[in-house]
Amino acid sequence: MRSLNHLILLTGQELTAGDRRLMAFASSMGVSPQSVSSGEGSSFPQRILDEFQPGTFCLAVGAETLAHINDTSTSRSELQRLIDEYSAALLVFGCTDSEPETNAISWLTSGAISGIISLPSQSVDFELPREAISFSKQLGGLSFSGVCRQLVSTFTLSSAATAAEVIMTANQRPVFVQMNRGSCELFLVSTALPDLDEPLTREHGIEEHYDELIPVMIFLRHCFGESCWHGIESTARLIIDDPLLSERYGFLDYGILTESMQRARYGTSMAFIPWNYWRTSRRNTERLAGESSRLSICVHGCDHTNKEFEARDAALLGRKAGLALRRMESLRKRTGAVFEPVMVFPQGRFSRAAIMALRDNHYLAAVNSTCFPQDIGRDDLKVGDFLRPAITRYNGFPIFLRHYPRRLFDFAFDLFLGRPALIVAHHDYFREGCRALEDLVAELYQQEPDLSWPTLTTQLMRNCRMRNLSNGSVEVQFFTRQFQFANRELTAGHFLLSKDEPDPVAIEGVLVDGASVPFSVENGFLKLEVNAEPGQVRNVEVVDREQPRQSTPGFGVAHNARVLLRRGLSEFRDNTLARHGGLLEVAQSVVRRLKVTGDS
């Protein structure tokens, strides 16, 4: 399918809820939809052809509207002519088992779809058959399960549907189908459309909306190609929380991990607790994290005390964030260990003030197993926030999501969106060695053969999404304060760069390759323009106005003694008690009573 220029939504006299959702979703993907009423007096095909060239547009119509068109012979013949002679593709969405909609779809598909059956509201197994991987890309061949909040309608394909491509199924019945009607591609989807403004919570996240999001995303990507938002690079990284840089930590054997990384072709970042900076030897650091190593170090809290970045005190959090960097810098100077200014929050807990503290201290990003702060406001994060590589709702600072290695589909969905596939593990994941990890890595390569494993700094600085504009320019959205952009085309290009920046007063300036350049802040986005020759790399830096800084001393002898106790107990747990289940349970109970764990 060649890249189309226009999405035209056929509506009734008024837009339905499904119409509004489709238009919002298309806009979020960088496609500007236009609605045309099929119920107005003049011929709706002619109104479209007066404005758009044949073959440059695709149509979308809700099944309810399609049923109304099918009821009127004049409208039906007009739609038939529009589809058969002028439109490159047609999406029919919101299909249900009502008789009018079933009849309309049977007419449209010449009987290839002979009926629609609803599944009861229950746990549903969705699958994207590998045979349709040309549509589903990194998702092809995978499945996911969910408890659907409403009835799921499924198609019944007749013997005439021999050329139909089933892109997604529910309980082994088609819910997303592609077929051809002459030169026009037909796409029919029966799952609900997503509401981008629906709030999410820690308990009810974006995973519950996979069935709603995926079909329309596949349709838009297929029809509009690089004219809609897309990622440019597929990257991944394993992040292991807590361990010291030593020969072994708990079940983690660095020698075995190093051999595994070389053999299976992956890279690892250690989420290192800055308090341990004085306990790390130069010999171990050079051996484990040298220049040729696939292993790097990022920041894991400051002291890793109980809920330390969940505090609301901005001054306290600023001290902690600054002290963590100062300790990591001391580690670098003493051992040569280059660290990455990326924060992994202990226990995944953080407040909105913690995000501001990271920005004020010039961290690059946060990587976390949840993007929801502990003091999240009502309706803070919504479905639409999770359709970009990073969450930037809080002060424009990026939070990148990571997952425990429980379900391959979550990582594939990240890659499909253009997000890095970030895997979180602790030492106990390596109880049986690296076999499970290597199996996961192999599966990721199967879904995305071009997968690469650069350091966190490298992949987050390069992470962006882009779309081609009709005037030949390319729009690029990036997320980190330092952004490295390469023109991958064979010709010179003009690029319109933007980044979420809700507070224009906070920006001192923007540098491109070290030189100050003009910029603007409009509607919450920082914007600038750059040119790049083929293969040229441009380095962009957003410079914040310097904030008044306090010194970042430690927190006193009593505090350090408490941290020492926590670290001693944690390491005894991981290195010794983890091998004895009963003793481990007793120790965890003691730690909770001492209130030095995030579980308390």
Kindly report, residue by residue over 391-421, the tens digit of the pLDDT.
999 999 999 999 999 999 999 999 999 999 9
Residue type for position 583: L
The whole-number average pLDDT for the span 71-95 is 90
Q: Which two tokens stand for residue 527?
A: 């914007």
What pLDDT was estimated at residue 5? 79
Angle at CA 385, nearest 5°, toward 382 and 389? 150
**Mean pLDDT for all residues in the chain:** 90
Tell me which residue of 266, 309, 311, 574 sits closest to 437, measured CA to CA.
266
What does the pLDDT read at residue 52?
Answer: 83
For residue 1, the model assigns a pLDDT of 46
Q: pLDDT value at position 111?
A: 92
What pLDDT sits at residue 585?
65
Residue 559: Cβ within 10 Å count: 12
CB atoms within 10 A of CB 377: 9
By the 8 A CB rule, do 60 and 7 touch?
Answer: yes
Residue 265 neighbours by CB under 8 Å, 6+ apart: 441, 445, 453
Q: At what angle do helices 210-224 and 408-417 cross, to 10 degrees?
A: 40
Burial class (CB in 10 A: 0-12, 13-18, 19+), 113: buried
Q: Using CA atoms of 530, 535, 536, 541 in order, give the dihedral in degrees to the nearest 10.
A: 70
The distance from CA 589 to its chain's CA centroid, rounded to whole angstroms, is: 36
pLDDT of residue 598: 46
Return the percent helix, strand and coil in the chain, to nearest 5: 35, 25, 35
CB 135 within 8 A of CB 165: yes
Predicted pLDDT at 588: 59
Residue 42 confidence (pLDDT) above 70: no
- Smallest CA-to-CA distance from 231 within 494, 449, 419 is with 419
> What CA–CA distances, in Å, run from 251 to 240, 345, 574, 580?
12, 22, 8, 13
E strand or H helix at 587? helix 581-594
Tell me the three-class secondary structure of 554-565, residue by residue: CCCHHHHHHHHH
What average pLDDT does the segment 7-36 reach?
94
Task: Judge whether 34 and 63 are in contact, CB under 8 Å.
Answer: no
Give the integer Cα–Cα distance in Å for 594 and 590. Answer: 6
Q: Rounded to whole angstroms, how far apart are CA atoms 524 and 428? A: 43
Between 435-447 and 408-417, two packed helices, what is the crossing angle to 10 degrees? 40
Is residue 104 a contact partner of residue 69, using CB atoms and an 8 Å limit?
yes
pLDDT score for 272: 95
Residue 459 is inside which H or E element, if any?
Answer: helix 456-462
Residue 559 predicted with pLDDT over 80: no
Express each pLDDT in 345-382 by its tens digit.
Answer: 999 999 999 999 999 999 999 999 999 999 987 778 99
pLDDT over 90 (residue 566): no
* Mean pLDDT calculated for residue range 102-125: 90
Cβ neighbour number for residue 104 with a 10 Å cutoff: 25
Q: How many helices (H) and strands (E) does the chain have?
A: 16, 30
Q: What is the predicted pLDDT for the residue at 583?
A: 61
Name the pLDDT band for 590 (thresholds 50, 70, 90).
low
3-state secondary structure of 422: strand
Of 249, 516, 237, 273, nearest in space to 402 by CA: 237
Tokens of 598: 């995030």
Q: Between 134 and 590, where is the model more confident?
A: 134
Of 146-160, 330-344, 499-513, which range is least confident? 146-160
Query: Between residues 432 and 160, which one has the greater pLDDT?
Result: 432
What integer is the mean pLDDT of 183-197? 94
Query: Is pLDDT of 594 > 60?
Result: no
Q: Can you name the residues that pair with 528 across neighbouring β-strands?
A: 497
Residues in the chain: 600
DSSP 235: B
The Cα-based distances of 371 to 146, 168, 183, 239, 421 in angstroms read: 21, 28, 44, 16, 15
- 47 falls in which pLDDT band (50, 70, 90)? confident
| 431 vs 586, higher pLDDT | 431
Mean pLDDT of 325-342: 92
And the tokens for 553? 């001393």
Measure the CA–CA gap between 146 and 165, rounded to whole angstroms: 23
pLDDT(550) > 80 = no
Task: Tell me how far apart the alpha carbons of residues 219 and 434 are, in angstroms, rounded to a whole number.
Answer: 38
Residue 217 in tokens = 């995303």
Instruction: Determine contact, residues 477/392, Cβ cutoff 8 Å.
Output: no
Percentage of the chain modeled with pLDDT above 70: 93
Going 187 to 190 to 196 to 197, the CA torsion angle's sign is positive
pLDDT at 2 over 60: no
